[in-house]
Structure 1
Amino acid sequence: MSKDVPVESEHPAVKDYRDPPPAPFFDVSELKLWSFYRAAIAEFIATLLFLYITLATVIGYKNQPDPCSGVGILGIAWAFGGMIFVLVYCTAGISGGHINPSVTFGLFLARKVSLPRALIYIVAQCAGAICGAGLVKGFMKGIYDRQGGGANYVAPGYTKGTALGAEIIGTFVLVYTVFSATDPKRNARDSHVPVLAPLPIGFAVFMVHLATIPITGTGINPARSLGAAVIYNKSKPWDDHWIFWVGPFVGALAAAVYHQYILRAAAIKALGSFRSNPRN
């Protein structure tokens, strides 16, 4: 008698998945946990390192006598995208690797983090950005102010409306990528995705910088814009500074709504569950 050989299915089995429950809007118990403050410290250090490496790259490039001898816009975009890749990889297991108030805001809107955690993350990110920009000025004191401090402002030839639109679209791309890379449904289906999640996020930052550097220098991160503006402290970055908060927050809001309520159809699922409840 021949042994029965199990026949492999044409379609590989898909792992079951379950969306995690929404984070509580306000969870006081978090404030008693060391892990809560450890995550805030991780966000502070990560944003500090992000600002130090990226602003130093920008200023170093601008200080080159021959533009062709420096890293160029492509190198600057790689510095921003590469640092996000590295830092998200390092901190994702501790704080989630936000490193950006607009990402934190988008995840808060999607009920991925509570209000206290979102607020302390944003404070830690802004403080880290200011300290990181301060380190750059301390190490490059002679050329920091002369080369603009890496601050964001609307470039000549562009209107504030164009700059705002560029910041909204750029942040939408970033936050949409964050939602897609961390989607629990995809993580259940493709076990390699959690390992690779920092890669598409870093690439999103890289691509957005290529498109937006000529317009605003690319903000898409209010902490990055704030840190550079505080340390550089000239009128032009402050005059345009509102763009680098309004644009990213609007872009994050649009990305959260698009991913959660259109792609994931959260509203329809909730309505269907309501209708199917026999007690109603």
Structure 2
Amino acid sequence: MSTTTAPPQPALPIRGFAEFLGTALLVIAGVGTAVAAPDTGTLGIAMAFGLALLVLAYTLGPVSGCHVNPAVTLGLLVARRIEPAAAGVYVVAQLLGGLAGAGVVLAFRSGDPSFDLSADGLGANGWGAASTGGYGLSSAIVVELVLTALLVLVVLSATARQSNAAVAGLPIGFTLVVAHLVAIPVDGTSVNPARSFGPAVLTGGTALEQLWVFIVVPLVGGVLGALVYRVLRGSDSDAASQDTPDPTTRAGS
């Protein structure tokens, strides 16, 4: 059994602030690219999200674990990698961070005289008429469920051992790139309720009406990913939790 001693954690308010900041920056980078530089295409937007998460994992991972995603936090809670009280603080901070990040995107996007929020949107997720590919609700549910489960499974696997900490950001970041490559044409890609929350609240209308899917389904996907991890790793999942130096686990969304 490992005898590694966990280093002291920053105070919970500091960790919560790190989650707020990280989620805001993820939205600014990813959603900002989608609405201000759409000519980069699906690959460019996917890379913006994935690379932003990769950078944040190494910047904020030592502070809070860099979950920046309520679905990831819920998955880690199911896997017993974070305490319930801390998970609650994280989720609130992430939602507020998503709203703040979307506010920053709106602020700089509004500098374009041709921009119309009601017509151009703010990178909100959606299906049907709100889907760039015309995909329906069932398609959005399937991709969000499967891809969020995949993301959480990768997070739990990549952070299972202390020795993995130095490279954990790479598979997690590239998993987010893959998720966006698959789902951008379907529903704009959420796999993160906080990423969907901010743009939908500020855009209103259809985006806000459809928001429930991009909160509920990724959360269910997060639980599913954690359960699959426990099935695959068995009792080793508990040992991995004990061997991780920071109970919040360096993660990401």
Name the TM-score class by shorter chain: 0.7 to 0.9
Aligned pair partner of 2:135 in 137, 158, 176: 158
Alignment of 1:210-225 (within 5 A): 210-225=181-196
Q: Does 1:40 align with 2:47?
A: no
Q: Deviations over 1:143-192 (max 9, x none)?
A: 261421111111153221111111001101110110010012xx4xxx4x
Are the counterparts in 2 of residues 59 and 150 from structure 1 also a CA contact under 8 Å?
yes
**Unaligned 5+ runs, structure 2:** 240-253
Aligned pair partner of 1:177 in 148, 151, 154: 154
Q: Deviations over 1:182-214 (max 9, x none)?
A: 012xx4xxx4x2111001000000001000000
Q: Does 1:149 align with 2:122?
A: yes
Which residue type is aligned with residue 17 of structure 2? I
Relative to the length of structure 1, the TM-score reads 0.77
- Distance in 2 (CA, whole Å) between partners of 1:19 and 1:106 is 24
- Partner of 2:165, secondary structure, is helix
Relative to the length of structure 2, the TM-score reads 0.84
Aligned pair partner of 1:103 in 50, 59, 72: 72
- Distance in 1 (CA, whole Å) between partners of 2:116 and 2:149 is 31
- Partner of 1:242, secondary structure, is helix
- Distance in 1 (CA, whole Å) between partners of 2:227 and 2:17 is 29
Q: Does 1:50 align with 2:26?
A: yes
Question: How far 1:34 sits from its partner (Å)?
Answer: 6.1
Aligned pair partner of 1:206 in 173, 177, 180: 177
Question: How far 1:40 sits from its partner (Å)?
Answer: 0.3
Question: How far 1:268 sits from its partner (Å)?
Answer: 11
Q: How many residues align?
A: 229
Q: Superposition RMSD on alpha carbons, in Å?
A: 2.3
Question: How far 1:61 sits from its partner (Å)?
Answer: 2.6
Structure having greater relative contact order (Cα 8 Å, sep ≥ 6) = 2
Are the counterparts in 2 of residues 59 and 144 from structure 1 also a CA contact under 8 Å?
no
Are the counterparts in 1 of residues 229 and 237 from structure 2 also a CA contact under 8 Å?
no
- Distance in 2 (CA, whole Å) between partners of 1:86 and 1:269 is 28
Of 141-150 and 169-178, more deviation after overlay is shown by: 141-150
- Report the CA distance shift for 1:34/1:92 in structure 2 as closer, same or farther (over 3 A): closer
- Partner of 2:190, secondary structure, is coil
Alignment of 1:121-132 (within 5 A): 121-132=90-101
Alignment of 1:219-234 (within 5 A): 219-233=190-204
Where does residue 113 of structure 1 map in the other structure? 82
- Report the CA distance shift for 1:42/1:267 in structure 2 as closer, same or farther (over 3 A): closer
Alignment of 1:60-79 (within 5 A): 60-62=36-38, 70-79=39-48
Question: How far 1:237 sits from its partner (Å)?
Answer: 1.0
Larger Rg: 1
Question: How far 1:18 sits from its partner (Å)?
Answer: 7.1
Q: Identical aligned pairs, as a percentage?
A: 37
- Report the CA distance shift for 1:61/1:243 in structure 2 as closer, same or farther (over 3 A): same
Are the counterparts in 2 of residues 151 and 225 from structure 1 also a CA contact under 8 Å?
yes
- Distance in 1 (CA, whole Å) between partners of 2:237 and 2:203 is 48
- Distance in 1 (CA, whole Å) between partners of 2:237 and 2:100 is 44
- Report the CA distance shift for 1:144/1:170 in structure 2 as closer, same or farther (over 3 A): farther
Where does residue 250 of structure 2 map in the other structure? none
- Report the CA distance shift for 1:87/1:268 in structure 2 as closer, same or farther (over 3 A): closer
Are the counterparts in 2 of residues 81 and 204 from structure 1 also a CA contact under 8 Å?
yes
- Partner of 1:71, secondary structure, is helix
- Distance in 2 (CA, whole Å) between partners of 1:222 and 1:96 is 18
**Unaligned 5+ runs, structure 1:** 1-15, 22-32, 63-69, 271-280
Are the counterparts in 2 of residues 170 and 220 from structure 1 also a CA contact under 8 Å?
yes
